[in-house]
Structure 1
């Protein structure tokens, strides 16, 4: 009882939860323990960034990184965020709401939450944590569906982090990444990668190493000045209709496992390029980074059917003619968002060319931080 009163005191008068820090953002949560031992209604908000992938996508997919004797993926977290709000309720019911999709699902209890609804990934997260009592889960995705920016992964990390806090579970951010990937695989029924989850959890400009017994993150740019140098050379735009990334990824996995030589040799070249790009980013050799982005894309577009489209190629050509150094679709490809690498002095002209060709230029910032969670008592 003393612990519960102490927790309520912290939340009521200071508006924060107790969190014990760890290495690389790992944490243990006390606030959920306090919540479970008190009857005070709670509101927990979590937000997480999405990401731009620079090189090495697909190398984070099981089993490709094993068959390649290790994978390396480079990405950066951006401020196009996804968020979730959890609100405890006293009637034991569960309400799931997606503001961007306009969907609401109602259940009598946590036990009765169905995995057959349109919000399956949220339902699976709730089933995994089994929070005590009732709650309302409201999610908001600020990114277009099928953008290729890892928005669904960002939202899942936000949901899991909020539930981790709510229930007082001891999972670290690194453990939540593994849980998220497993839950996603259950939903989409194909193998999943983890690069999106690392960006959502930890933020920053990262090199992600995928090995036999672990996956680890290396921060490539640590200062605000270095991050802005990369940011001012990247244009993000929406280049076409959304697509199901799982299908494209599955085509690449199948081609690789079936020893399609174009795919196998292509992935080996992508891995080599990704290692070279990591070195170039660390050295701030932006001209070489641009060249490597172009090389990676020229290979990636051949790895599986559906990676690019005629409309996307026309938009990319317009950017190049306006002075861009390189283009690359984000995520699995087939549509969605693309990055364009430019010299800062040519940025305005290239942005105008992209818009004239039918792309929607999207303002963004690279962010150093990952998921954030805030708790407060309901008033």
Structure 2
């Protein structure tokens, strides 16, 4: 029996992370998020079987059914439950990730968007990309009991580098060509600390309403994100790196404490002559740091991070989106 294989890239956010969370995305008029898909990500395999739906997380070996609440399976279960009785039987869904768990590269959200896309096609009712974004955000917020943004769903559905804006009632997704030389200078450093964006997002969201200094910081983040978008549009990697560093400096004042293990890394990145700019991926608190090395210094920067005990992920910017094959 034929299987449907779906490959989807994860993403790196370069500016404006957190600004994609409602209602910040609506309240801040100039809110924009800049992200870019990477060369690898997650794979979902959908097979037709007889009997109840089966879920398999190939990374952990966890198995279950459509009513599973296990952390390794709940996103897949939530996706199947969205389709109701049609998806309660007859499908086996297997998930596998090529990036570390908790990397802060949008893996869970990318997985959910991929599941909705693949299952809807399998059922003969393919969903439009913007519908997937809306549905995925609702499902994930319910499952993690925290606010969620939308950039992670948009990345694999639209692919490449995008500037995402949030006009009333919709999304403005503007594609930008990946600047020449960005891949030759980008270094993605894994802190080794699993990242959960929900709690940091909630803390920052509360701070926006409760603390005028934090509110001002978010407006400044939006200004910086727009400058980063302009730099990316013009293909100026050095200027993009500068605005990433500015983003990091603002985020240090937000209510997400850098974990001790990551402080050592950030102190190095702040002072190193090898680094043009860097920022924390996602909502910080662990996961991955994206750094832009100075011209010709990528290998040395990666080597130094590795010597410090921080693995460098074999990832690079790539114009990819969800791809489906039948085997």
Match of 1:172 in 2: 128
Match of 2:36 in 1: 76
Match of 1:312 in 2: 262
Indicate how the Cα distance of structure 1 residues 365 and 323 shifts in structure 2: closer, same or farther if over 3 A, else same. Answer: closer
Match of 2:81 in 1: 127
Matches within 5 A, 1:97-246: 97-106=56-65, 113-118=66-71, 119-130=73-84, 131=86, 133-221=89-177, 226-246=178-198
TM-superposition CA deviations, 1:158-199 (whole Å, max 9, x none)? 111110111111421121111111110110111110001111
**Mapped contact 1:207–1:219 kept (Cα < 8 A):** yes
Higher Cα Rg, which structure? 1
Which of the numbers 23, 32, 49 marks the counterpart of 1:63?
Answer: 23
TM-score for the superposition, normalised by structure 2 = 0.94
Match of 1:360 in 2: 311
The separation in 1 between residues aligned to 2:5 and 2:268, in whole angstroms, is 42
- The offset of 1:123, in angstroms, is 0.9
TM-score for the superposition, normalised by structure 1 = 0.81
SS of 1:100's equivalent in the other structure is: coil
Match of 2:230 in 1: 279
Matches within 5 A, 1:260-339: 260-306=211-257, 308-319=258-269, 320-339=271-290
The separation in 2 between residues aligned to 1:66 and 1:297, in whole angstroms, is 23
**Tell me, which stretches of 5 or more residues in structure 2 are unaligned?**
none
The separation in 2 between residues aligned to 1:231 and 1:271, in whole angstroms, is 25
- The offset of 1:374, in angstroms, is 1.6
TM-superposition CA deviations, 1:292-346 (whole Å, max 9, x none)? 111110001211133x223223213334424212221111101111011112311
- The offset of 1:227, in angstroms, is 4.2
The separation in 2 between residues aligned to 1:116 and 1:354, in whole angstroms, is 37
* Count of paired positions: 323
The separation in 2 between residues aligned to 1:128 and 1:162, in whole angstroms, is 13
- The offset of 1:70, in angstroms, is 4.8
The question of 1:349 aligning with 2:300 is answered yes
- The offset of 1:54, in angstroms, is 0.3
- The offset of 1:86, in angstroms, is 0.8
The separation in 1 between residues aligned to 2:115 and 2:262, in whole angstroms, is 33
The separation in 1 between residues aligned to 2:119 and 2:204, in whole angstroms, is 34
**Tell me, which stretches of 5 or more residues in structure 1 are unaligned?**
1-40, 107-112
Matches within 5 A, 1:248-267: 248-258=200-210, 260-267=211-218
The separation in 1 between residues aligned to 2:126 and 2:90, in whole angstroms, is 21
